Structure 1
């Protein structure tokens, strides 16, 4: 693929899944004020960490089972993802899921497809009246963006100096990771942000597209 060793960092919500699961949860279960919080995150008026924390704080912990059942029943995995995971294993390319999503739905949806050790996401605490989001992968000393699940920090932790960093994503939560990448594969809002920041990218809709992009690089490298 390249003289450097490839490593893939892939988003979850809206990338592996066809839609954003946090947005789906909020639309179904949250009071109206969640929408204003979401808009402030997208406009970068408030940090992702602050926004996600505030949105989940609108939801009572007692609804954990109902919310989980709803997402597991309605979330759709994007076409070609299982084949893509198999492809990365065949090619010996490390694949890490770096997600601003929450463990109670990310891990069950990826169970049996991606090893839990390769999943980096936010955690949840249902012991209080409302859902409390925990941040085990917070920003390192090089990042002060309030990412929540800090994708650049995870990349710095896992990638070596000779790593060819491939970032796959769809939203504002993937922008800082895209800035560190050697190759960006993007869809939806991340395309707009890459264009704004003059970041080169390849567009995709399915993971069959992603595999074609990566195989093309293998041929041309």
Structure 2
């Protein structure tokens, strides 16, 4: 491969087997969250607006309980640690690009992925309810109000130089998948890739992705 491969991997529902934001909302069940979730999935409201509104339903006093809940219940998808070893051995740059929130993403990935390799949303607990911060907002090319704008991050890597690989599972990965040179998709993202005619490789575990990348000979140029 003449271009440098670089991997952008979703977190919720991809690195972890289930979506932590949805799991948090189901567990703490603030009134009205399900209607907001349905609006996001139907694209009636943006991801940024929807996620911000859902967390604003939760009091800041729940922070420790939420972190404990996620640490106890988030299950890392099979093969992820082996996958990280593989990309390190092959010297392939790897980034977590997550629409999740720092206060639970960082604890789950502590000691597994370096923080300077993690793009995610921020949080503010200074008020009465949880406020989400958006340090990686959309650039001038994106009007989807992503919250964390995965396409903007990808655009920082010139496709003439980089072979951009996206791994994901949900609606938040769709716009990045449209830009990427290669896509690994599962669940909702796989459905959307089929709907939009985006070429993708399905996966169930990270072992599947390792085997595929080895077969294709994807490694640092």
**What is the CA deviation profile of residues 27-50 of structure 1, one whole-angstrom value per residue up to 9, with x for unaligned ones?**
011323111111111111110000
1:88 aligns with 2:87: yes
Contact 1:7 1:159 (8 Å CA) reproduced: no
Q: Which runs of 4+ in 1 moved over 4 A?
A: none
1:4 deviates by 1.1
**What is the CA deviation profile of residues 110-162 of structure 1, one whole-angstrom value per residue up to 9, with x for unaligned ones?**
11111110100000001100000000000011111000000000111245631
Cα distance in 2, alignment partners of residues 217 and 43 from structure 1: 35
**Count of residues in correspondence between the two structures:** 219
Cα distance in 2, alignment partners of residues 123 and 94 from structure 1: 23
In the TM superposition, what are the counterparts of 1:1-221 in structure 2 within 5 Å? 2-159=1-158, 161-218=160-217
Contact 1:7 1:94 (8 Å CA) reproduced: yes
Q: SS of 1:114's equivalent?
A: coil
TM-score, normalisation: structure 2: 0.96
Q: SS of 2:145's equivalent?
A: coil
Q: Extract unaligned runs of 5+ from structure 1.
A: none
Q: SS of 1:174's equivalent?
A: helix
Contact 1:11 1:168 (8 Å CA) reproduced: yes
Structure 2 vs 1, CA of residues 89 and 18 (structure 1 numbering), >3 Å: closer, same or farther?
same
Q: SS of 1:130's equivalent?
A: coil
TM-score, normalisation: structure 1: 0.96
Bigger mean CA offset, 203-212 vs 25-34: 25-34
Alignment RMSD, CA only?
Answer: 1.3
Q: Extract unaligned runs of 5+ from structure 2.
A: none
Contact 1:30 1:58 (8 Å CA) reproduced: no
